[in-house]
Amino acid sequence: MMGPVTATQTSSCPTLRVSSVLRAAEQRDSAWWRHAVIYQVYPRSWADSNGDGLGDLPGITARLGHLRSLGVDALWLSPFYPSPQADAGYDVADYREVDPLFGRLADADELIARAHELGLRVIVDLVPNHSSDAHSWFRAALAAGPGSPERERYIFRNGRGAGHELPPNNWESVFGGPAWSRVTEPDGSPGQWYLHLFDSAQPDFNWDHQQVRSEFESVLQFWLDRGVDGFRVDVAHGLVKKDGLPDHRARTHMLGDTEEAAAHALDGHSPEPTHHIPYWDQDGVHEIYRSWREVLDSYGGPERILCAEAWVEPQERAVLYTRPNEMHQAFNFDFLGTPWIAEDLVAVIERSLIAADSVGAPSTWVLSNHDVVRHATRLGYAPGTRRPNGIGAEDPQPDRELGLRRARAATTLMLALPGSAYLYQGEELGLPESTDLPDELRQDPTFVRSGGEEKGRDGCRVPMPWFRDAPGHGFGPGPATWLPQPSFYGDYAVDQQDGVAGSTLELYRALLRRRRDLSLGSGSLAFVRGYGPDEGQ
């Protein structure tokens, strides 16, 4: 556990000084997750075993050696469950199966077993805020009609207006457009509305319903029994909605970005607390995680973990998710969102460590994931440029060389920090975003729901290049890739960097080795001041 901030002064050099020390006090325990580096595998884009152009579980198992030689502690798999893929698998139709697109349940077992043999832990994605509209419960709810017990497991309401033709309130979907869709009742008449904070194919569960609660505890047990080491919990701050579902004006973008937050950031004000938005960060969510923690703890050691994806401001509320009897970790999106400005980075790191320490949790660090523009590209724009939701060919293009240089520096910083770090597949290659995908190939529902105004997240989800000269750069046995790889991806392929001094892959390996050898993940931290605001950028 980190200790309090203590200020010290050194005068060994006239210009440089160590201005503050964040000293690691006694480690409260040496649990693996307090300092682990966890690598996110996006199953559809990592490795394809059968040549259909979509990655799959056997493909992942076959290449786990890459993670072993990289030197990470665990992998987190984005969803591979049966799904119509309306939101790339974050629309789950069955929480206890594997989609045939990705393999079979036996392939998941094999993946877990092989990873464990290699000393890698496995974290799976749990999506509790919403299911797919193809989930048997939602189908039953549609068939059973208004007032039925089946409808109670989701959030159905009558519309406003004389003919109920208006949505029940003014909430907007994170992907754009209204957060409500109207159903046609079994008798063919226009009927009730259901809530979906994301796509209309992702109806929100009603977490006031006991069956929903027991169902998810049972899903946790299902995967724990299969040997997984933890869960990344999707939209963990969204499950409970404020009573009465009152109107609220703001649309939230991915990772909690709102227009207001952006405006506030520019004029130096703190953003509005997330829990003022009636569908985010309501106090009631914590009871759910306390009961989940009991389920996990009942499995004994070594500890299995929960990591919250919770876009919550201020940080003091975000860390409530990681109190000792709730989750183990929460993603630190403040770090990801901080512009490439030295003082800002120092400030966010200090703030994060102090906030996490206030509840005895490790801080986490992340720069890229499947929802944001890759950091090698993001950092290729002027510091302070607003983080776009996807980039198109007609948008201003990043400076790729500068972006890579900064990305390498950013990762070097991140992997030296105490706490747990998350990597996103391909960043170990310095992989840039694909910024010229043709619109007709885009699959992220944001693109359509925002009327094309936001390009969406496909650009960071393009299949990995493994071998420069193989078809599809070795993503699978043939040339097929579900999204086209940019022409320059071959130069970033694993085989171009493996064993090559100075390559980004070798940099990551060296950083991870050093982090492990020096126990940096559980170390203490001091900033040396006096280099000037943004030296060597």
Encoded amino acid at 155, one letter: I
Positions in 40-69 near ligand NOJ (CB under 6 A): none
Positions in 300-339 near ligand NOJ (CB under 6 A): 309
Structure tokens at 226: 């299969």
Query: What minimum distance in Å lies between the beta carbon of 202 and ligand NOJ?
Result: 6
Which residues share a beta bridge with 431? Answer: none
Burial of 465 (0-12, 13-18, 19+ CB in 10 A): buried
For ligand NOJ, which residue of 73, 99, 107, 371 counts as binding (CB under 6 A)? Answer: 371
Beta carbon nearer to ligand NOJ, 87 or 427: 87
- In DSSP notation, 257-323 reads -BHHHHHHHHTTPPPPPGGGSTTSS-TTHHHHHHHHHHHHHTT-SSPPEEEE----SSHHHHGGGGS
Beta carbon nearer to ligand NOJ, 289 or 492: 289
Q: Taking the chain, what is the end-to-end CA distance rounded to the nearest angstrom?
A: 32
- Among 309, 313, 371, 458, which one carries the catalytic annotation? 309
Total interface residues for ligand NOJ by CB under 6 A? 9
Q: Residues for the chain: how many in total?
A: 537
Pairing mode of beta strands 156-157, 190-195: antiparallel
Query: What minimum distance in Å lies between the beta carbon of 199 and ligand NOJ?
Result: 8
Residue 273 CB contacts under 8 Å (≥ 6 apart), including other chains: 281, 313, 314, 317
Q: Tokens 């607003």 appear where?
A: 386
Q: Is position 260 annotated as part of the catalytic site?
A: no
Query: What minimum distance in Å lies between the beta carbon of 211 and ligand NOJ?
Result: 21
Query: What minimum distance in Å lies between the beta carbon of 305 and ligand NOJ?
Result: 18
Structure tokens at 386: 């607003």
Q: What Cα–Cα distance (Å) separates residue 368 from each residue in 325, 335, 503?
A: 28, 11, 19
Q: Are 371 and 257 in contact (CB under 8 A)?
A: no
Q: Spell out, one character per residue from 114 to 153, where the chain touches ligand NOJ: x when CB under 6 A holds, - when not.
A: -------------x--------------------------
Beta carbon nearer to ligand NOJ, 309 or 454: 309
- Among 234, 281, 371, 454, which one carries the catalytic annotation? 234
Beta carbon nearer to ligand NOJ, 156 or 198: 198
HSE value, Cβ hemisphere, 13 Å, CA-based, for 164: 15
Q: Is position 309 annotated as part of the catalytic site?
A: yes
- Sign of the dihedral defined by the CA atoms of residues 339, 503, 51, 56, in that order: negative
For residue 280, state whether it binds ligand NOJ (rule: CB under 6 A). Answer: no
| Cα(211)–Cα(205) distance, integer angstroms | 10
Phi/psi of residue 182, nearest 5 degrees: -95, 140
Q: Strand, helix or coil at 143?
A: helix
Q: What Cα–Cα distance (Å) separates residue 128 from each residue in 29, 77, 234, 321?
A: 30, 16, 7, 15
Beta carbon nearer to ligand NOJ, 40 or 497: 40
Q: Strand, helix or coil at 161?
A: coil
| Cα(483)–Cα(45) distance, integer angstroms | 9
Residue 306 CB contacts under 8 Å (≥ 6 apart), including other chains: 230, 231, 233, 289, 292, 293, 296, 326, 327, 328, 329
In the bound state, the residue with its beta carbon closest to ligand NOJ is: 90
Positions in 68-87 near ligand NOJ (CB under 6 A): 87
Beta carbon nearer to ligand NOJ, 447 or 466: 447
**Residue 148's CB: how many other CB atoms inside 10 A?**
13
HSE value, Cβ hemisphere, 13 Å, CA-based, for 527: 20
Q: Spell out, one character per residue from 190 to 209, where the chain touches ligand NOJ: x when CB under 6 A holds, - when not.
A: --------x-----------
Q: Spell out, one character per residue from 224 to 263, where the chain touches ligand NOJ: x when CB under 6 A holds, - when not.
A: ----------xx----------------------------
Residues taking part in catalysis: 234, 309
List residues near ligand NOJ by CB under 6 A. 87, 90, 127, 198, 234-235, 309, 370-371
